[in-house]
A and B are shown apart, each in its own frame.
Chain A
Amino acid sequence: METKEPEQDRPFRDLVSQLAVVIRTSQLHNPANEAVVTAIEKLIPLINGLLEDESSIQVELVGEYFYVNENRVKFTMEHLLNFDFLQKEFAKRSVGSISFLCPVAVENIQNLLSVFIACQYAPDPFEALVTGLAQEKCIDAGVVRRISVDGEHDLRKAVKKTYFNAVSFTKGVMNKLKAGERVNIKKAKRIVESMVDLLLDREEFLLGMTAIKNYDEYTFHHSVNVSILSVALGQKIGLSKKDLMELGLAALFHDIGKTEVPPLILNKPTSFTDEEWNVLKAHPVHGVRMIFRMKSFDDSSIRAAIVAYEHHMHQDHSGYPGIKKLKDLDLYSRIVSLADQYDGMTSSRVYARVPMTPDKALSLMSKRAGTQLDPLLFKFFINLVGVYPIGSLIMLDTKELAVISGVNSGDFQRPKMILITDGEGNKITPVAASLTEKDGLGRYTRNVMRTLDPVKYKINIAEYLL
C-alpha cells in the first residue's frame, strides 16, 4: 500500500491536522486548559511559519478536500481521523474556510475556539462564527465555496460520459474475451483513472450514477457500479490515488470469470440445478485465468486476480470457492464484496427481477456484517452511502415525495434530494433540496418519514438522476 508522503505538502498537512487536534481538544476542555494551550502552542508555529512566506493562510474545505492557499492537501492514512473530524466540524457549521491574516498568538486561537465551539448551537452557525470573529483582526471565516453552475453542469456531463463509456468499455471487454480477442488494458486503466478523478472531485455525482440500473445490460453496469462504489469506499478509508486505481481496476473485473459461464446458465431465470450451480460457482476460478489472459503479470493484476477469486468467499469463508488453508480475505476483496452485494441487491437481475430498496439492502447487509461482510468496512460503507443512499425514494413529513441525490458530508442522516411531488402527490418539475435546510427557528424544514419501493410504483429513478 502506498503511504509515501509528499514532502512539499508537509507544512500544509501538519497545519490542517493540528487545527483538528486543537478543535477536538477544546471540545473536551476550556480553551484556557493546559491541554488546549499545549495543542495551540504546537499550532502557532505552523501558522506563523507559513505566514513568513505568504501574506495570509487560508484553510479551506472544498468538497471532501482541504486546501491551504489553493493547494490541495494530500493526506495519508495516519491523518485520516483528523481530516475526517475537521471536515465534519466545518460542515456542521457550514464553514468553508478559516483564514489567518497575520501572525497569531495563543489568545487569538483561544478566541477562535470559543466562538467556533459556541456557534454550532446557533440557528445559523456560520453567521454566529463570523459575528464572533468580528473583533478578531487576524482570523477570518469564509462560506462554503460552491462549484459554479456551469462548472457543475460540465462536471455532470463529464460524469455521465465517463460512466457510460466505462459501461460500454466493460461490455466490449467481456465480448472480446468471449471471442478470444485481445483486450486493451491501458484503456481500462485510463477509464478507472477518470472515475477516480471524478470521485475525488465530486464523489456524489459518480456515486449517483450507480443508482441508475439497466436490466438488459446488468452485468456491465454492475461491474462499473462495483468499481465506483469500491473506489469511493477506498477513498473513504484513505487509500492513495494509485491504490484507488488498482482497487477500481480489480473491482471492474471482479466478475470477468462469468465470461466463461454459458449464457444459458448465466441468464437462467429459474433456480439452478446442482450442476448449473457448480458451473456458476466456478467463475471466480475462471476470473483468475481471465485476468492473466488480458493483463501482464504485475502488482495490479495480482490484486485483481485475488479479488476475482475471493469476492464470493465471504469474510467467514462460508462462500465459494472453498480453500484448503483459511486465510484472511484481501482488503480489496472485502471492499469489493460489500460493493458487489450492495449493487447486486439493489439491481434488477435475471434471478431477482425485483430489486431491493437501498435502505433494505443496507439493512440486510448490516445483518451480514461480521459473518459474510467485514463489519468495520461496512461501517465505513454506510457512512459513505448514507442511511438513505442515492436513488432512494422517500416520503417526507411535508407529504412530498423525493429521490435522494447526494450525501451531505456534514450530516449523513440528512442527504441531498430531488423533490418529485408536491404535498398532494402531484408530479412537479424536479427541484433540488437538502434535508439539512432549516427554518428561521432553526428547525429542519423536512424530515424523512419512510422509504418507498420505486419498482412497486413504476417510478423511474433514472428520470430524476440523469
Chain B
Amino acid sequence: MKAEPQPADIKAAQDVIASFQKARKSLRMYPSNNPIYVRTIEDVFRRLDNILEIGPLELGVRQNEILFGDTPVYTASGMEDNLAFFFFKDGLREISFKSGLTLEETREFLEAISQDSGMDEDIVTLLWEKDLEHIKYVIDENFLLEDETYETEAVLHAREETTPEEDLKRAHSEAFSASTPLSAPEIVPLSSADFEELMRAVRLDSADKLIKLISILFDILSDCQPAVYPEVAGIIKSALEHSIRKGDLSSALGIFSAMDAVPPEGPVSDLLKKEMKKVQAHASSLELVKALGEHLDSGQIRDEEMLIDYVRRLDSSAIASLIAVLGDLKTMEARKTVMNALAFLGNKDLNALAKGLSDPRWYVVRNIIHIFRKMEDRRCVDFVIKASRHSDVRVRIEVIRALGELGGQGVIQTVRDALGDSEFSVRSSAARALGMLKTEPARMILMQHMAGKDFMQADFNEKKEFFEVLSGWNGPESEAYMIKCLRAGSLFHKGRTDELKACAAYALGLMGAKNALPLLHKLRDSKNRTISDYAFNAIKRIEYGN
C-alpha cells in the first residue's frame, strides 16, 4: 500500500480494523467449533486478502489511534475495548500484513488478539510464539527497560580494570615455559545415533509434566514445616484446577491418589488433612464443575469410568454445582454423564440432590426426578412426591413414572390423584405406574377409575391403555370385569359402550382368557367393525398365541 493512500484504501483499512474488533467479540463469545466463530475468521481473512492484493497493509499504532499511512483508521478513548491501546500498552508500535497471508495465520492472529487480558502473556508474546510468517510487528524495546543506567554502569564496571601490560607479558612468557597440556575434552562430532537418541529422549520427556509436579509437591509436603502447608496446598489446588480446565482427569485423579498417601494420624497429619480437604472442596466448586461440564459438552472427556472415579472423590457440595451445570449442558451425552455422577453423589446426600427440585428450569427438575428414579431407592419417594404438582406436564409424567418404579405404600395416593390429571399423558402414566406396582390396592384403584363416569368419556386410546394395564393382573377379578364389559349393552351411550367392548376384547386377548372365547366368537360377527376386528385378533391370540 502506498504512503499516501486513496480514500477507497482507507475505507478498506477501516473495515479491516472494524472486522478485528468484531472478531474479538465473537471469538471470546463462541467456542472454536461454532459456525459463527469459523465464519468470523473467514470474513476477516477475505477482507485482508482483498486489501493485500494491492500491497502489504502497514498499520501504525498510537495510544488511542491506529494509523494507515498518516490517516487514523481507528480512534478510541479510554482503555476498555480500545484496540489501539491493547497493542500500544505492550509496546507494539507497528503491525503489518503481507501478501501470502493464510487463513490459518488469520485465525492465529485473531485468537491472539482475543485473549482475555490479565494473563501472563501479552499480545507481543502471543504473536511472537505464533511466529506468523506474513504478520510482522515492530515493538518499542524501551518498554522492557528496567533500569536505564544499568547497562552503562555495568559496561564501565566491566571495563574498569584494564589489563596491565606487564601482566600480559608475564602471561606470555609463562605460557611458553609451562608444560601444562591442553585440558579441554575432545569434541566428538555428533552422529546420527546421537540425534536418534536425542529424539528418543525428547519423546520420552514429552509425558505430562503436571503429574511430575504433583509428585514434587507431595514430596515437599512430606518434608516441610506445617507453616508451609497452606501455600503448598494452594499450589496443589491450582494444579487440580489446571488439570480440570484442560479436561485432564487423569492428573486430577493423580492428585487425589497422592492425597490418599497422607498419613492418617498424628497432629501434623491433621493439619495437612485440613488443607487437603480444602483442595477437595475446590474440586466440588461450581467454577471447577462448570469447567468439567464444558469438557463433557465438547466431548473431550469421554471416559465415563474415569469420570465416575473422579466424582467418587468429590464431596456432596459438588451436588449443587453439578445441578447448576446440568441445566447448561448442550449435549445429551454430557447430561447423561452428569446425571450418572449425580446419581452416585446423591446417594451420599439425598437432601442436597432434592434441592434441585426447586430449580426454576423444568428440565432440570425432570432430570433430578429421573436420577431419583434410577437410584431405585425408596427413600427418594418423599422427594419425588413433592414435585407431583409441578406446573410442567413433562415433570409430572416423570414423577409418576418414578413413583411407579420406586413403588411402596407411600406412592399410591399420589398416583391415584394423577389419574384425575387434566393431561392424558399423565393419566396414562399413572395407569402404567399402577400396573408396575401390581398390588391389589393398585388394581382396585384402577378398576374404580375405569368404572367411573369420566372414564366412559375418555377417548378410545386412553381406554385401550387402561384395559391393557389391567390385563397385566390376569386374575379372575380382571377377567370378570372385562367379560362384563363384553356383555354390556346400552341404548344411550352405544358408541362409548362399543369402545369398552373393543378394549375389553383386546385385553382379554392379551390375558389369553379362554373363558372369554364364546363371547369373543359372537362379537366377531358384530356389525361394529372395531369390535369385530379386536375380537378376531383376541381369538387369534388366545387360540394360536399370536
Contacts and interface: CB of A to CB of B under 8 A. Distances in A.
B163 A292 contact: no
Interface of B is mostly: helix
B175 interface: yes
A172 B148 CA distance: 13
B492 interface: no
B172 A399 contact: yes
A299 B209 contact: yes
A451 B184 contact: yes
B453 interface: no
Interface stretch (B80-88, B123-131, B340-348): B123-131
For chain B, the bracket of interface size reads 35 or more
B194 interface: yes
Contacts of B187: 382-383, 386-387, 412-413
Interface stretch (A119-127, A139-147, A190-198, A344-352): A190-198
B197 A427 contact: no
Contacts of A241: 128-129, 131
Interface stretch (A36-44, A94-102, A160-168, A266-274): A160-168
A72 to B, nearest CB: 9
B3 interface: no
A466 B119 contact: no
Interface string A297-313: 11111110110010000
B245 to A, nearest CB: 10
A331 B220 CA distance: 21
Given A81-B195, A164-B150, A194 B141 contact: yes
Interface stretch (A25-33, A60-68, A456-464): A456-464
Contacts of A379: 188, 190, 194
Contact of A448 (B90, B102, B182, B210): B182
Interface in B164-212: 164-165, 167-176, 178, 180-190, 192, 194-199, 201-202, 204-206, 209-210, 212
Interface in A396-447: 399, 401, 412-413, 420-421, 424-427
B122 interface: yes
A323 interface: yes
B305 to A, nearest CB: 26
Nearest to A217: B154
A189 interface: yes
Contacts, number: 246
A1 B205 contact: yes
Interface in A368-382: 376, 379-380, 382
Interface in A167-210: 167-169, 172, 185-187, 189-191, 193-194
A363 B175 contact: no
Interface in B188-245: 188-190, 192, 194-199, 201-202, 204-206, 209-210, 212-213, 215-217, 219-220, 222-224, 228, 231-232, 234-235, 238-239, 241-242
A107 interface: no
Contacts of A458: 161, 163-164, 167
Interface string B309-348: 0000000000000000000000000000000000000000
A408 B207 CA distance: 35
- Of B178, B188, B190, most buried by chain A (CB within 10 Å of CB) is B190
B172 A380 contact: no
B4 interface: no
Given A161-B151, A289-B232, A427 B183 contact: no
Interface string B112-138: 000000011110110011010100000
B527 interface: no
22 contacts: A77-B199, A84-B195, A169-B144, A187-B146, A190-B122, A190-B144, A245-B125, A245-B128, A288-B235, A297-B241, A303-B209, A306-B213, A331-B201, A376-B198, A380-B190, A380-B198, A399-B172, A424-B172, A425-B173, A456-B171, A458-B163, A459-B167
7 tightest A-B contacts by CB? A425-B172, A359-B184, A462-B158, A168-B150, A457-B171, A297-B238, A164-B151
Given A297-B239, A427-B168, 17 more contacts: A71-B133, A77-B199, A81-B195, A168-B147, A186-B121, A187-B144, A190-B143, A288-B235, A289-B231, A297-B235, A321-B219, A323-B215, A359-B183, A360-B183, A380-B190, A383-B187, A451-B184
